[in-house]
Amino acid sequence: MREESVERGHSRPTITCDEALKTAQVDAERAYRDLSSYRICVTLEHDGWHVDYELKNVATQGGGPHYVIDSVSGRIVTKRYEQ
Amino acid sequence: MPIAGCGKPSPPSSGDGGTPGDGGTTQPCSRAPTAAELQNNPEVQSALHQAWTDSQAGDPAKRHEEGGWIYQNTTTGKISVRRAPAGAQASLDLSHPPTLDGSVVVGKFHTHPNPTSEGWNPGPSPGDIRVDALHGVPDLIQADDGVHVSGPDSRRGGPGGGPGYPP
């Protein structure tokens, strides 16, 4: 399903979902300390792996980290820390 | 300090011999304060300042969100504040305001203690914006670059509708 969502004409990803998640997790743990209150959503989009941490309790104020990770190099392209 | 538009004594009725302000009845609040009025209120300013101090923004290992609710007495217009339990580093639960007799929730506030210098967004998150629209009162957010406002400009529907968040 994820591979089907890759835009036509773009390179096949060489970075797996788990590898992208690991990259994001290392950075997120450094910034947010405790990630137990977040659920994680990983999707492959035309610009790379999107790794989004969303609060499990939707009634709370706040936010989590959001990443776009290059699906070929594995580098973080963009990141956003919400609070 | 009350917000303008409520709590003012009505002029005494003609012929009763009273002086203005000594015999009238207080007027119930006809409107809820705006976010700008709340920001200028000394009680709210003090609460924001204290919440920011309590957030320990200068300590990377302990910084966390703090906040609470802003109330208006529907008769006198007096503004008061109640604090919520401390939150986590980047989240806080303001969904259950305590009830204050004779008062309604007209706003809420919280802190964003994580530093912009380290890449943190100081303004309201998409989650803040969604929850603030649901709660229906202005949300004042103290960050290291100033105060951000989210949610409606004033309590949705005015001061009526019960003591908690507006219906």
Look at B112 and A83 and tell me if their CB atoms are within 8 Å: yes
Residues of A in contact with B89 (CB under 8 A): 32-34, 83
> Between residues 137 and 166 of chain B, which touch chain A (CB distance below 8 Å)?
139
Could you please state the CATH topology (level 3) that the domain comprising A3-81 is classified under: Nuclear Transport Factor 2; Chain: A, (3.10.450)
Domain boundaries, chain B: 1-167
pLDDT 10s digits, B21-72: 334 456 778 899 999 999 999 999 999 999 999 999 999 999 999 999 999 9
pLDDT of amino acid B121: 98
Could you please state the CATH topology (level 3) that the domain comprising B1-167 is classified under: Cytidine Deaminase; domain 2 (3.40.140)
SS3 B44: helix
- Put residue B156 in one of left, alpha, beta given phi > 0 → left and psi -120 to 50 → alpha: beta
- Residues near A71 by Cβ (< 8 Å), separated by ≥ 6? A11, A13, A14, A15, A20, A44, A48, A49
| Residue contacts between A and B (CB atoms, under 8 Å) | 85
Name the residue among B125, B140, B135, B66 with its Cα closest to residue B104: B135
Q: What is the pTM of this model?
A: 0.86
